[in-house]
Amino acid sequence: MILSLRKRAERAHRNDRVFLGIVYGSAGTFVLLILALLVQLILGSWQSIRTFGFAFLWTSQWNPVTSQFGALPLIFGTVVSSFIAILLAGIVGILAAAFLSDFAPREIARPLSFIIELLAAVPSVVYGLWGLFVLAPLMRVAIGPFLQHVLGWSPLFSGPIYGVGLLTAGIILALMILPTVTAISRDVIAAIPQDLREASMALGATKWETMRRVVLPAAKTGIFGALILALGRAVGETIAATMVIGNRPEIAASLFAPSYTLASVIANEFTEATTDVYLSALLELGLLLFIVSFIINALARLMMWTVFRGR
Amino acid sequence: MKAPLLRRGLVALLLAAFTAPALAATQLTGAGSTFDYPLFSKAFYAYNQQHSDLTVNFQPIGSGGGIEQFTQGTVDFGATDVPMNADELKRAAKPVIQVPVALGGEAITYNLPGVGSNLRFTRQLLADIFIGKVTNWNDKSIAKLNPKVKFPNLPIIVVHRSDGSGTTYIFTDFLSSVSSAWKSKVGTGKSVQWPAASSVGGKGNEGVAGQVRNSPGAIGYVELAYALENHMDMALLQNRAGKFLACTMDTVRAAAATKANVSATNFSIVDRAGANAYPIAGYSWVVIYKGTANKAHARQLHDILEWLVGPQGQSIAGSLKYVPLPGNVQATAKKALSEMVL
Amino acid sequence: MNVTTLAMPERTAPHKTSIHIRRLSSAFGVFITGLCASAAALAMLIILFYVAVQGSQALNVGFFTHLPRPVGIDGGGVANGIVGSAITVGIATLIATPVGVLIGIFLALFARGALAESVRFLADVLSGIPSIAIGLFAYALLVAPLHHFSAISAAFAFAVLMMPIIIRTSESAIASVPRTIREGALALGLSSYRATMHVIIPAARPAIITGVLLGIARITGETAPLLFTAFGSEFWELNPKNPMAELALQVFNYAISPYDSWHRQAWGGALILIVAVFALNLIARAILLPRRQR
């Protein structure tokens, strides 16, 4: 059917409107979804919020028997273990991504990428069991004593080495988030236009200098996004962390000490909690995780904006 | 795409083939205790071999989850390690029957290089260790009970369950009964605040056992079935009668037999007075509604649960290293079931 | 995008980094990055090897084709879990991919400033919420009101978990398509809809697919959201409106049980999960990517 130019333009315009509607609609639905999640968390934690108030945040008790709940040591454990995880995974992941996208020949890069991405497919419980049966003993007999020998003067590496603890949990979490960091960073780096690299090398820079001073800075927004996604995963990880962190709700200086995370407590106690205030306290931990995630993201964005002036 | 109708017809046929057997039989759903899961899966499978018109889908989502889903009406029955208390019964709104269906004991396991199985502990010593009063293996109170053993200078690491569990409930119930200090400082619960300075939590029996195996100087508690299946070193615990007993099917059964009339309000069987009674044992329960709208379902549920607590069901329990219910408790369970409105 | 200027090595500078040192540093840099990539791959191989050793004993034909059997009875398998997981992950992908890509389009092409930043921010916050909380959300939305567990509620929870990854990666993929292509399409008179769907998306497709595959890998091993949504089943179930068996749940339940035979099955199931994601990656790339980019 031959449409007049005007009719075609009108149809295209209408299609566009529908299309834009769908696009904006999806974004809107998404925002509504998250708000619904937040509302549900708040409603569920209301009883706990009413009972404990703000003291929940700085109390160090977690006593289901007397129904005294306080989240401070859990916040500590979550923040420290996630920090270790993102530090390890960030460094290794970004460097690996640089190799996989630029330095390695395709025959090596493709299989290596596959293998690293597979890390994301390992079920949490398998990470937990592997950590408990392989990594924790290794930490206790080899890694821990070595670190204590070299760095034992610092309070971070003092104290008895149980095998499980903050450091072990941090390492397991790092392994879990490594594929996210690597795969996404690799794609981001690969997407940087080739002419930028060529210009740099034409000016006499070496491969490494090009990567360090031209490509990585150009990719920083995307890499930042990858790190944030990975950090989110580390903060919210439940089962693997709980099997290797020692599950002791206490704040200690040493990385070898057992600790506890917000998500682990929820995973451990939710299916067995039966009283209303107990369930409510656990849901308040979920709400706290939402808030912690919020704050970490806000801080990171603030940092990016001030350091890189919003670019 | 050739013959789309034929393709669709084939899919429909396959679907019918897959779903048809399920439609012919009744399927009951249950949810709750992870402790019960192996028993239920084997027992209900065996029952289905004899009664092919009934299948049961039981999922181990935890006792709390089981009670919640039972209360919400999404499942036909719940399974829980601690019976529903007054608050939970009030929330269920309809009258509930609670039936003891499984019995288990807890073994004390430890890791002392060079020292084998069968170390002796008194109840008070165990409480002192877990409350943090006794902190080293070379403590005199341990040596006094085990004169022939040479103990190293090794700090005691207390390993407990990090996840809420009936196992912890039974163990803390035991500690509360034998130590007033524990009762006032910590108490009884599926999750508690563990006071020992050097303590670590493991998730599940696997977590506790793995942690104990990994740490020289560790001591922990695990379910009997787990300890037996994994050939773990166990301690001898002195009971109220003064005998040092290992945790075995017989000693746990003896403990249960001392209390015939267990009920949802009086269910503790720790620290019993009986010559052969092992001090740390407890039941697991099934909760059902007294009356339901679906009479056919109620009848099927009644029959399968009666079979479960009877000799056939309990012999299956024994094969899986659960402790079979003593005869008097079987009778109590059957009586509770008879209260169902059919 | 800023253009970094490199200073020419000055002849009169007090220290001039010799070209040899710079080349050496470069080689060292390449070496270190290669080391990191190899270490990451090695870690995966170690874990895979461990799972394979533990799980290979459980793998036989019966494992793939039979329903679960109780302890002590031989021949049990995870067939219903494999099918159930495939159905649930499939539905989740079908929900999350279009929505996620559309939001990626929104962020990369149509939104500006504060609006875009807020949506991006919320997506990032979502990625930090534990999967059990999202499972509870799905329960409150789709299970409790209907008094009925279902695979669809599990798929919904999975879709929510996948979305931050798909949103982030599609936005990144679309934004990296050169502006010239978009402008060219519009200059040729294509409507926004056509320019986006028929020109930009195909150009961004490989990276979007990577994002979707990463999302699938993320949810395949998740157990916590399944407890209160799919519930699990010991029997065959193909109807997503009913409770359904899930391989990740079976792995979890078997792993924490006391019995060795079930432990072996847990590892076997874990091995299947990992290999399945691997196979999916291979197949998806083979089918969906043009020859050039494989």
Better-scored residue on pLDDT, C283 or C238: C238
The β-bridge partners of A175 are none
Residue B101: predicted pLDDT: 94
Structure tokens at C106: 């929104």
Percent of chain C predicted with pLDDT > 70: 92
Kindly state whether residue A25 falls inside one of the protein's structural domains.
no
Residue B7: predicted pLDDT: 64
Q: Long-range contacts of range C202-206, CB-CB < 8 Å, 24 or more positions apart? A: C203/C177, C204/C170, C204/C173, C204/C174, C204/C176, C204/C177, C205/C173, C205/C288, C205/C289, C206/C173, C206/C289, C206/C293
Number of independent structural domains in chain C: 2
Domain boundary pick from C57, C75, C94: C57
Are residue C21 and residue C106 in the same domain, yes or no? no
Confidence tier at B15 by pLDDT (50, 70, 90) = low
Check CB contact under 8 Å for C51 and A126: yes
Say yes or no to pLDDT of B330 above 80: yes
Let me know: does C105 contact A23? Beta carbons within 8 Å.
Answer: yes
Q: Note down the domain range covering A158.
A: 55-309
Residue C4: predicted pLDDT: 57
Say yes or no to pLDDT of A168 above 90: yes
3-class secondary-structure state, position B99: strand
Which of B163, B192, B230 best probes binding to A when mutated, by most A CB atoms within 10 angstroms?
B163
Q: Select from B186, B190, B214 the Cβ nearest to the Cβ of A163.
A: B214
Say yes or no to pLDDT of A3 above 80: no
Are residue C165 and residue C45 in the same domain, yes or no? no
Average confidence (pLDDT) over A157-178: 92
Are residue C30 and residue C72 in the same domain, yes or no? no
Residue C7: predicted pLDDT: 62
Residue A258's contacts (CB-CB under 8 Å, 6 or more residues apart) are A162, A164, A165, A166, A245, A246, A247, A248, A250, B199, B200, B201
Residue C72: predicted pLDDT: 77
Q: Note down the domain range covering C165.
A: 64-293
Average confidence (pLDDT) over A197-217: 91
Per-residue pLDDT reduced to its tens digit, C82-115:
999 999 999 999 999 999 999 999 999 888 878 8
Kindly state whether residue A68 falls inside one of the protein's structural domains.
yes
Say yes or no to pLDDT of B118 above 50: yes
Say yes or no to pLDDT of B23 above 80: no
Better-scored residue on pLDDT, C7 or B287: B287
Kindly state whether residue A216 falls inside one of the protein's structural domains.
yes
Confidence tier at C15 by pLDDT (50, 70, 90) = low
Chain C nearest CA to B15, separation (Å) = 8
ipTM: 0.82
Check CB contact under 8 Å for B74 and C237: no
Chain A with chain C: Cβ pairs closer than 8 A: 316
Say yes or no to pLDDT of A289 above 80: yes
Are residue C178 and residue C199 in the same domain, yes or no? yes
The mean of the pLDDT values for chain A is 88
Residue A142: predicted pLDDT: 92
Check CB contact under 8 Å for A65 and B214: no
Kindly state whether residue A184 falls inside one of the protein's structural domains.
yes
Residue C274: predicted pLDDT: 85
Percent of chain C predicted with pLDDT > 90: 29
Per-residue pLDDT reduced to its tens digit, A46-67:
998 888 888 888 888 888 888 8
Lowest mean pLDDT among B32-46, B302-316, C247-261: C247-261
Residue B291's contacts (CB-CB under 8 Å, 6 or more residues apart) are B94, B95, B298, B340, B341
Are residue C97 and residue C158 in the same domain, yes or no? yes
Chain B nearest CA to C234, separation (Å) = 6
Say yes or no to pLDDT of B11 above 70: no
Per-residue pLDDT reduced to its tens digit, C193-227:
888 889 999 988 888 988 898 889 888 878 888 88
Say yes or no to pLDDT of C230 above 60: yes
Sign, Cα dihedral of C196, C202, C203, C204:
positive
Query: Distance (Å, rounded) from C-alpha C143 to C-alpha C147?
Result: 6
Average confidence (pLDDT) over A156-184: 91
Kindly state whether residue A50 falls inside one of the protein's structural domains.
no
Backbone φ, ψ for residue B200 (5° rounding): -140, 145
Check CB contact under 8 Å for B64 and A247: no
Lowest mean pLDDT among B191-195, B302-306, C13-17: C13-17
Say yes or no to pLDDT of A310 above 50: no
Residue A119: predicted pLDDT: 81
Say yes or no to pLDDT of B16 above 70: no
Are residue C180 and residue C93 in the same domain, yes or no? yes
Residue A311: predicted pLDDT: 45
Residue C256's closest CA among B162, B159, A246? B162
Strands B157-161 and B218-223: parallel
Percent of chain A predicted with pLDDT > 90: 37
Kindly state whether residue A225 falls inside one of the protein's structural domains.
yes
Check CB contact under 8 Å for B87 and A275: yes
Residue C100: predicted pLDDT: 95
Query: Distance (Å, rounded) from C-alpha B61 to C-alpha C253?
Result: 9
The mean of the pLDDT values for chain B is 89
Check CB contact under 8 Å for C258 and B321: yes
Domain boundary pick from C40, C57, C74: C57
Which residue does chain B place closest to C258, by CA atoms? B226
Check CB contact under 8 Å for B29 and C234: no
Residues of B in Cβ contact (< 8 Å) with A160: 155, 198
Average confidence (pLDDT) over C114-124: 88
**A82 touching B, CB under 8 A?**
no
Average confidence (pLDDT) over C266-287: 84
Question: What b/e string do you get for C88-109 counting C-beta neighbours within 10 Å, with b at 16 or more?
Answer: bbebbbebbbebbbbbbbbbbb
Domain boundary pick from C32, C57, C82: C57
Check CB contact under 8 Å for C259 and B41: no
Say yes or no to pLDDT of C129 above 90: no
Q: Select from B68, B155, B163 the Cβ nearest to the Cβ of A269.
A: B163
Chain A nearest CA to B276, separation (Å) = 31
Sheet (strand B199-202) strand order: B54-59, B26-32, B77-80, B281-289, B96-110, B218-223, B157-161, B199-202
Chain B nearest CA to A252, separation (Å) = 12
Give the number of other CB atoms < 10 A from CB of residue B24. 8
Kindly state whether residue A247 falls inside one of the protein's structural domains.
yes
Q: Select from C71, C231, C243 the Cβ nearest to the Cβ of B42.
A: C71
Per-residue pLDDT reduced to its tens digit, B87-98:
889 988 899 999
CA dihedral C221, C227, C231, C236 (to 10 degrees): 20
Are residue C88 and residue C27 in the same domain, yes or no? no
Kindly state whether residue A23 falls inside one of the protein's structural domains.
no
Average confidence (pLDDT) over C2-8: 59
Query: Distance (Å, rounded) from C-alpha B259 to C-alpha B270?
Result: 10
Say yes or no to pLDDT of B2 above 90: no
Give the number of other CB atoms < 10 A from CB of residue B130. 25
Backbone φ, ψ for residue C146 (5° rounding): -100, -5
Better-scored residue on pLDDT, C84 or A120: C84
Say yes or no to pLDDT of A308 above 70: no
B86-90, B155-159, C132-136 — most confident range: B155-159
Say yes or no to pLDDT of B4 above 80: no
Are residue C24 and residue C157 in the same domain, yes or no? no
A59-73, A85-99, A232-246, B109-123 — most confident range: A85-99
Q: Select from C8, C133, C256 the Cβ nearest to the Cβ of A286.
A: C133
Number of independent structural domains in chain A: 1
Better-scored residue on pLDDT, B247 or C282: B247
Residues of C in Cβ contact (< 8 Å) with A112: 37-38, 41
**B61 touching A, CB under 8 A?**
yes
Are residue C200 and residue C272 in the same domain, yes or no? yes
**B230 touching A, CB under 8 A?**
no
Per-residue pLDDT reduced to its tens digit, C138-197:
988 898 888 888 999 999 999 999 999 899 889 988 988 888 998 898 898 888 888 888
Instruction: Residue C172: give its domain's CATH number.
Output: 1.10.3720.10
Instruction: Residue A198: give its domain's CATH number.
Output: 1.10.3720.10
Are residue C73 and residue C52 in the same domain, yes or no? no
Are residue C92 and residue C121 in the same domain, yes or no? yes
Chain B nearest CA to A128, separation (Å) = 9
**A290 touching C, CB under 8 A?**
yes
Check CB contact under 8 Å for A126 and C221: yes
Residue A58: predicted pLDDT: 87
Are residue C98 and residue C49 in the same domain, yes or no? no
The mean of the pLDDT values for chain C is 86
Say yes or no to pLDDT of B1 above 80: no
